[in-house]
Chain A
């Protein structure tokens, strides 16, 4: 397979779409990425990542709609649905399309407009990805699966509610420097856990997880333009290469997993991405992990190979995952504070890393990173897509 490069990135601010439709937010992000790429001609292929348009927005055929809105005729076009890993999947398929030589250029845009429905409807919509007979009918939601995971994990490794809060505090702080982030508000340990009003401001959602352990419900879109080396060199843009991708799956029903504290698909997807890139976790300078729940940032940082199992929370406590630390994680604010428009997230993670590798991450820029990593976590870990990105030259 030949190499694939990222020559254009773009995204909307995450948060509330307001009057904007799903097609509007997708168009905005895609247009920014295309403008950034500065291609002289139309892209050959379009991949739109989305999970819920059929349920939330009564829309289908987003790939065709996107080509029409952007006048990209006669580009090939598809919609990619893979739950909360739709974005990662679409970038992977785009990289395969360019890598195979089938096309020289591809636009990948992911988006979601979730705030078109009420909060519980959005939670219920995401819950439709759980096992229909063995999970969904019980009222099980993603927070519920995360709560059961967190209880065992915290018990086994001595992770405390304070550690979970540290993830939220760090990611909220990071988001203050990201103008595209949904949440622009710092939080403190006192306010989250220790003041008497914490039980009101930060109530349990699914014990032991509280509201500030969960990502918000967001609208938004993110896009990348992928191309061959030849096109990338012609563009004059910094060369950011998709050095490796990896994807892996796990059982649909969470209870079927032998060790319910393991995220086997994260481990395998990360191993595959590192193997393809010829890199190891220690080479990574900046990472975006899928912290839909605070516990997941800690667990994924171990499964991806950055820290020994059971020590992710210690690295967090020591500040190793803050900007300026050994491995800054979720400098964007992560899903926790940048927000989580499900179809957009996997693409937004790649956009964030590409910006750091290009040196275009503004106030939150990590100093001269060469290698970046992303983990996009679908289902409750039943479908995971990871990337290793590298700066050349």
Chain B
């Protein structure tokens, strides 16, 4: 499992995900990578039913989370009954296969769940 990274601005410390070379907060160029890890809080979510043929599921649950670093990210939720504000932990696993290419992405689950 490859860890996903955010960026931290060398000038002002703003965290960005996806990583940015040019800072959105201060406009300066230059950032360092930081791993996207640790506990996260669920900001919002939805169950999506009209999926492309790349998905065999009847629906998938996606959501936006906020990490303790302040970085936000969208990912798949491996949670049956999500609730806004719940605490989640993060792992990386395949999210989509297009042709022969499998893409890995962020997954979120209740802390202490077996998949992490």
Which of B17, B48, B105 contacts A137 (CB under 8 A)?
Answer: B105
Interface residue A41 (Cβ < 8 Å from any Cβ of B)? no
In whole angstroms, what is the CA distance A143 to B95 when docked?
18
Q: Chain B's nearest CB lies how many Å from the CB of A133? A: 6
Q: How large is the interface on B (under 10, 10 to 19, 20 to 34, 35 or more residues)?
A: 20 to 34
* Contact between chains at A151 and B46 (CB < 8 Å): yes
- The total number of A-B Cβ pairs within 8 Å is 100
In the bound complex, residues from chain A placing their C-beta under 8 Å from that of B103 are 137
In the bound complex, residues from chain A placing their C-beta under 8 Å from that of B46 are 144, 147-148, 151, 206-209
In whole angstroms, what is the CA distance A247 to B72 when docked?
26
Interface residues of A in 119-141 (CB under 8 A from B): 119-121, 123-124, 127, 131, 133-135, 137-141
In whole angstroms, what is the CA distance A139 to B24 when docked?
26
* Contact between chains at B62 and A148 (CB < 8 Å): yes
In whole angstroms, what is the CA distance A151 to B62 when docked?
13
In whole angstroms, what is the CA distance A151 to B84 when docked?
10
Interface residue A254 (Cβ < 8 Å from any Cβ of B)? yes
Interface residue A205 (Cβ < 8 Å from any Cβ of B)? yes
Q: Using A120-B52, A148-B46, A203-B49 as known contacts, say yes or no to A138 and B64 having CB atoms under 8 A apart.
A: no
Most A-side CB within 10 Å, residue of B17, B46, B51, B73: B46
Q: Chain B's nearest CB lies how many Å from the CB of A136? A: 9
Which of B51, B73, B75 contacts A120 (CB under 8 A)?
Answer: B51
Q: Using A137-B95, A147-B48 as known contacts, say yes or no to A255 and B73 having CB atoms under 8 A apart.
A: yes
Mask for B59-90, Cβ within 8 A of A = 1, else 0? Answer: 01011100000001111100000001000000
* Contact between chains at A151 and B44 (CB < 8 Å): yes
* Contact between chains at A206 and B95 (CB < 8 Å): no
In whole angstroms, what is the CA distance A55 to B16 when docked?
31
Which of A137, A138, A143, A260 contacts B44 (CB under 8 A)?
Answer: A260
Mask for B1-35, Cβ within 8 A of A = 1, else 0? Answer: 00000000000000011100000100000000000
* Contact between chains at A139 and B72 (CB < 8 Å): no
Q: Chain A's nearest CB lies how many Å from the CB of B9? A: 14
Q: Chain B's nearest CB lies how many Å from the CB of A97? A: 31
In the bound complex, residues from chain B placing their C-beta under 8 Å from that of A260 are 43-44, 64
Interface residues of A in 136-165 (CB under 8 A from B): 137-141, 143-144, 147-149, 151-152, 155
Q: Chain B's nearest CB lies how many Å from the CB of A373? A: 29
* Contact between chains at B105 and A138 (CB < 8 Å): yes
Q: Chain A's nearest CB lies how many Å from the CB of B55? A: 6
Mask for B102-114, Cβ within 8 A of A = 1, else 0? Answer: 0101000000000
Query: Residues of A at under 8 Å CB distance from B?
Result: 119-121, 123-124, 127, 131, 133-135, 137-141, 143-144, 147-149, 151-152, 155, 203-209, 251, 253-256, 260
**What are 20 A-B contacts with C-beta separation under 8 Å?**
A120-B53, A134-B73, A138-B74, A138-B75, A138-B105, A139-B51, A139-B52, A139-B55, A147-B47, A148-B62, A148-B64, A152-B84, A155-B84, A206-B47, A206-B49, A251-B24, A253-B18, A253-B74, A254-B74, A255-B64
Beyond contacts A120-B51, A138-B60, A139-B95: 10 other A-B pairs, Cβ-Cβ < 8 A, are A123-B52, A138-B95, A138-B105, A139-B48, A139-B52, A151-B84, A207-B47, A209-B46, A254-B74, A256-B17
